[in-house]
Amino acid sequence: MTPLRIILLAVPLCALAQTAPKPENKFVGSLVCKTCHPDVWLNFNKNPHYRSIASGKEAPDKTGCEGCHGAGGNHVAAGGGKPTIGAFSQMTPDQALNTCLECHSKDISRANIRRSAHTEADVVCSSCHSIHKSPTPKFLLAKQQTQLCYTCHATIRAQFEMPVKHRVNEGVVQCTDCHNPHGSVAPTWRTGVSSAMLAPAHDNEQPCLKCHIDKRGPFVFEHAPVRVEGCDSCHMPHGSTNAKLLRRPVVFTVCLECHNGAGTFGRTNAGVVTQSPSHNMLDPKYQKCTVCHVRIHGSNTDPTFLR
């Protein structure tokens, strides 16, 4: 077969492949969307996204329905259908995330969203937020915050139903008081490995200190692990069967597990100091360490936290 014949044969095939050009997908405006989606439109004036429509100044790709779903021209021409519009249910998680971040990436609270544990697990905006049918007037959550988090975190729910707990189910404390579901900055305590979703208080401190203001200090005599390793060295932050959310049912085992003098632990690198020989553990009064060491989180007057 000569090259000329090949070309002659190929030309019609190429022409066949180049069928009519795809029509340009044009922006049609939110009022057009209303025609088929009146249920979405009816209450959309209560939606925070309505502000872009109310302003009347935004470009077509930054306002109304098409601000999130993309140009609707092809969708209208096709008589509807998810393949012709930017339907979030059809997007990959990172597509959904990037669509929302077009506008929402600039706030500090979401600055670390791309490295958050949620994003790594493909839990993105549309997993928790319901833009059109949210039951919450603020933040457009798909459910009330507590129930929303419990959807995936069943073990955390179990902890908040224990007898000793932070009052999350009672509605006075919220998950976001301590956590940033959009990803957090690197903490200044522990070694930066396991605290990925904690929201530091006052930019740098453990979130516990937002409410437990008396534990904040600075103290002349710091109980070093509180600052270095964090409150959860001794406490279970969500809920516990033990009093004061302690990791152990009795206080003395909490203390003795560290104060054993072994190794290179502690602030002097020579082991955490053992208890005094004057403490006889057969005497019940020495079994409740904090009865005497009342300022266990830090003291301004006594290095052993007695006053």
Partner 1 sequence: MTRNFLTILLAPAFLLAQDTVAPSVDEKVGPLRGENRGDYNIVQSWEFGYRFASLGGNSDKYRSDVNYHDGIRLLNSNLTVNSKDGHGRWFDEITFATQGLGNDPYESATFRVQKNQLYRYDLLWRRNDYFNPGLTVANGQHRETTTHGWQDHDLTLFPQSHFRLRAGYSHVADNGPALTTVQEFDSRSDATTVFRNIRRQYNEYRLGGDGEWKGFRFTVQRRWEYFKEDTSDRLTAATGLTQFARSQPYRGNTPGWMGNLYGERKWIAINARATYAGGRGDFVQNEIAIGTDRFGSAQNRQVLVTGNGDRPVVAGDFNVTLFPTGRLTIINQTAASNTRIIGNNFLQQFDNSTFTFNSLNFQFLGVRLVTNATDAHYRFTKRFDVFAGFRYADREIRSIEDQGSPGFPLDGVTGQQSNHTKAGVAGVNWIPLKNLRAHLEGEIGRNDNPFTPVSLRNYHALRGKLQYRTKTMSAGAGYQENYNNNSIQITAYSSRARSYSAEASWNAKSWVSLDTSYSKLHLDTIGGIDFFAGSPRSVEITGQQSVYISNIHAANIGLRFALKKYADLYVGYNLTKDTGDGRGSPFTSAITFAAPATAVAGTLASAQTFPLTFQTPLARVSVRLNEKLRWNLGYQYYGYKEDFGLFLYNQNYRAHTGYTSLLWAF
Q: Which of residues 125-164 bind partner 1 (CB under 8 A)?
A: 137-138, 150-152, 154-155, 157-159, 161-164
Among 5, 192, 199, 237, binds partner 1 (CB under 8 A): 192
Contact pattern for partner 1 over residues 31 through 50, marking x by CB under 8 A? xx--xxxxxx-xx-xx---x
* Region from 1-9, 16-24, 61-69, 298-306 binding partner 1, contact rule CB under 8 A: 298-306
Please state the closest distance from residue 61 (CB atom) to partner 1, in A: 15
Residue 144 structure tokens:
């009330």
User: Cα separation of 55 and 272, whole Å?
Assistant: 62
Give the residue, chosen from 4, 13, 20, 213, that forms a contact with partner 1 under the rule CB under 8 A: 213
- Taking CB under 8 A as the rule, does residue 60 contact partner 1? no
Q: Which of 6, 8, 10, 51 binds partner 1 (CB under 8 A)?
A: 51
Note whether 61 binds partner 1 by CB under 8 A. Answer: no
22 lies in the site for partner 1, by CB under 8 A: no
- Give whichever of 15 and 128 is closer to partner 1, judged by the CB atom: 128
Task: Rank residues 79 and 83 by Cβ distance to partner 1 and give the closer one.
Answer: 79
Beta-carbon count within 10 A of 12 CB: 9
**Per rule CB under 8 A, is residue 10 in the interface with partner 1?**
no
- The Cα 123–Cα 154 span in angstroms is 16
- Using CB under 8 A as the binding rule, whether residue 6 contacts partner 1 is answered as no
Say if residues 33 and 41 touch (Cβ distance below 8 Å).
yes
Looking at residues 269 to 288 of the shown chain, list those that interact with partner 1 (rule: CB under 8 A).
269-270, 272, 274-282, 284-285, 287-288
Query: Binders of partner 1: how many residues, by CB under 8 A?
Result: 137
Q: Pick the stretch among 5-13, 14-22, 61-69, 238-246 that binds partner 1 (CB under 8 A).
A: 238-246
Which of 6/211 has CB closer to partner 1?
211
Q: According to CB under 8 A, which residues from 87 to 126 bind partner 1?
A: 92-94, 101, 105-106, 108, 111-112, 114-115, 119-122
Query: Which span sits near partner 1 by CB under 8 A: 4-12, 16-24, 61-69, 224-232?
Result: 224-232
Closer to partner 1 by CB, 9 or 77: give it: 77
Q: Is 290 exposed, middle or buried (0-12, 13-18, 19+ CB in 10 A)?
A: middle
